[in-house]
Amino acid sequence: MPSVSRRYAADGRRFERPSGIPNDELRAPVVLMVSGGADSTALLVMAATSTLDIDDGRGDARIARERLHVLHVNHQLRGLDAQEDEEFVLELAARFGIPCTVRRVDVAALVAAQGSDGNAENVGREARYAEAVRLANELSDAAGTARSAARIVTAHTANDRAETFFMNAIRGTGPAGLSSIPRRRNRIVRPLLERTHRELCEMLRMRGIVWREDATNEDTRYLRAFVRHEVMPVVEARNPRVVASLSTTCDILSDEDSYLHAKAARTLRDLTRREAEGMRALDAERLAACEVVIARRVVRQAILAVCPAARLEARHIEAVLRLVSAGRGSVALPLAVDARVEYGLLFVRAHESGATLEGAWLEVPGELELADGRVLRARLCTIDAGSDAVGVARAHGSEWAGASVLLDAKAAGVDPTTGGRLWVDAPSQGEVLCPLGMHGQSKLLSDLLNDAKIPAADRGGVPVVHAGPRGAVLWVVGVRADERVRVTAGTRDALELGVYRLH
């Protein structure tokens, strides 16, 4: 049994503090999301008078009264009923001496703004959680505790979990959807998942506490109400313990889903060959060799990495995997995300990626921030007399893996004493250079980029350093320098060009 230290709350209640729990965890705010229905009313009552497990390492324990704060979100959808719900929650919180914050959100306006994609249930849920996060952050800042230590507590029960299981099964889903409502997601905890709605109602009746009923809960046009009133009674008639059985099933699915998600995340990191803002490139051959259960998740995670708002369905993932299997082709995904297999890589791009660079001056010495978050840097350096200048330049390029080069400053048109400036732009149609290592032979810049296996969609974002707006190419950033500005045995004044990521 862990050692504990004892202290007393302001009202004389004693609570136990396990020695290994950070102080922030025991002072951080606990936001109770209370609608006024039976379940959330029970949550408020139990938080104020009994014990709850809010996943802070103590298990079931009393919560210090000064940590508690009630949040009620009025969706402004039900007129007088909504106003009465608000007043009920304010009075209930005051009865138990808990501060209460009411936030009003015009859900109908938000739904209208989303057009055909709007759904009152989804919009309302998102609004509630957004307000809960905002309040938790405000209270954490006021208390001087880490935001991550706060808890947002919801009143979801075993019944909610079973209903969500069937709702997701009806819509069509994978293991994540079938695992239903998790016990915890980041700061959001659900300590009543082991209890049924009936148990909580009985507890409130025994204490003589009333609650509010939402008439929309009876409207079977809503999927949850349909499942609650049409599906669950039929299933419970066959198996009276189905709610408890499904809760166990959801726990198992949740654990397995977490394991597969973590494994897929590691695989995604291993397969990533290129990464930029709005773009991921994966090794297509190795992805094709993965077990399909992992490959599906890798593709999903890659798409969501470049476009978190993408609404993905199984058919989208399967379409991408068919490209990977074929080794070529492209497919359009939701929110204008593009998936394409070329040069042995699966490229996943958001519609905002691949923008063409705008021309700009790079001062020498100086830096130029690029739109993708990288920074081009130019500076002058001296190669010591007696040194192998060519060997120094070669070692520099090898050490920086092509992200930095040493060039002859005078050949590049830069004064070793006063410096100068260079022009940085996107590749131009028909542009020619003499790539380093080709002994003066010229090559179209487009052919060089093709040889470097840079997809056409990304080429407009490849910076090219020129001697001036109409000057010769000095360096195709990260690809190749021009032979005519290479460091020679007689070079003493060198121009160092490099690129790095700012963040």
What pLDDT digit, counting tens, does each position of 86-124 carry? 999 999 999 999 999 999 999 888 888 876 555 788 888
How far is 240 from 277, CA to CA, in rounded Å?
52
Whether the bond into 365 is cis, omega within 30 of 0: yes
Are 18 and 59 in contact by the 8 Å Cβ rule? The answer is: no
Question: What are the residues whose beta carbons fall under 8 Å from the beta carbon of 430, sequence distance 6 or more?
Answer: 444
Looking at mean pLDDT, say which of 21-35, 117-131, 262-276 comes out highest.
262-276
Phi, psi of 62 (to 5 degrees): -70, 145
Q: Which CATH number fits domain 251-349: 3.40.50.620, 1.10.3470.10, 1.10.150.20, 1.20.59.20?
A: 1.20.59.20
CATH 3.50.40.10 holds for 360-501 = yes
Question: What are the residues whose beta carbons fall under 8 Å from the beta carbon of 49, sequence distance 6 or more?
Answer: 96
How far is 499 from 339, CA to CA, in rounded Å?
27
Q: Does the pLDDT of residue 215 top 80, yes or no?
A: no
How far is 193 from 155, CA to CA, in rounded Å?
8
Name which residue leads in pLDDT, 211 or 119: 211
3-state secondary structure of 15: strand
How far is 107 from 312, CA to CA, in rounded Å?
25
Query: Predicted confidence band at 13 (pLDDT cuts at 50, 70, 90)?
Result: very low
Give the CATH fold of the 4-238 domain: Rossmann fold (3.40.50)
Radius of gyration, alpha carbons of the chain: 31
Are 238 and 252 in contact by the 8 Å Cβ rule? The answer is: no
Query: Predicted confidence band at 401 (pLDDT cuts at 50, 70, 90)?
Result: confident
Write the burial class of residue 488 (CB in 10 Å: 0-12 exposed, 13-18 middle, 19+ buried): exposed
Name which residue leads in pLDDT, 326 or 58: 326
pLDDT tens across 183-208, in order?
Answer: 998 999 999 999 999 999 999 999 99
Long-range contacts of 175-183 (CB under 8 A, 24+ apart): 175/253, 175/256, 175/257, 175/260, 176/257, 176/261, 178/249, 178/250, 178/253, 179/250, 179/253, 179/254, 179/257, 180/246, 180/250, 180/253, 180/254, 181/156, 181/250, 182/254, 183/55, 183/251, 183/254
**Which among 451, 450, 445, 483 has a CA at the least distance from the CA of 464?**
445
Q: Does the pLDDT of residue 12 top 80, yes or no?
A: no
User: What pLDDT does 20 receive?
Assistant: 56
How far is 161 from 252, CA to CA, in rounded Å?
13
Residue 14 bridge partners (DSSP): 8
> Percentage of residues in the chain with pLDDT exceeding 70?
93
Taking residues 68-91, what's their average pLDDT? Answer: 92
Walk across the sheet containing 337-342 and list its strands: 272-276, 279-283, 345-349, 337-342, 329-333
Q: Where are the chain's structural domains?
A: 4-238, 251-349, 360-501
DSSP letters, 379-398, are: EEEEPPTTS-HHHHHHHHHH
Q: Does the pLDDT of residue 7 top 70, yes or no?
A: no
User: What pLDDT does 14 receive?
Assistant: 42
How far is 198 from 286, CA to CA, in rounded Å?
52
Pairing of strands 68-74, 30-33: parallel
Taking residues 301-313, what's their average pLDDT? Answer: 88
User: What pLDDT does 6 receive?
Assistant: 34
**Which among 462, 463, 460 has a CA at the least distance from the CA of 356?**
460
Are 453 and 347 in contact by the 8 Å Cβ rule? The answer is: no
Q: How far is CA 361 from CA 215, 370, 372, 485, in A?
A: 65, 11, 17, 19
Lowest average pLDDT, out of 31-40, 120-129, 477-486, goes to 120-129
How far is 474 from 486, CA to CA, in rounded Å?
9
How far is 430 from 59, CA to CA, in rounded Å?
69
Query: Predicted confidence band at 23 (pLDDT cuts at 50, 70, 90)?
Result: low
User: What pLDDT does 9 receive?
Assistant: 37
Long-range contacts of 144-149 (CB under 8 A, 24+ apart): 145/24, 145/27, 145/28, 145/29, 146/24, 146/28, 147/187, 148/187, 149/22, 149/24, 149/25, 149/27, 149/28
Taking residues 441-458, what's their average pLDDT? Answer: 84
User: What pLDDT does 48 receive?
Assistant: 95
Measure the CA angle with vertex 248, ends 247 and 250; round to 5°.
65
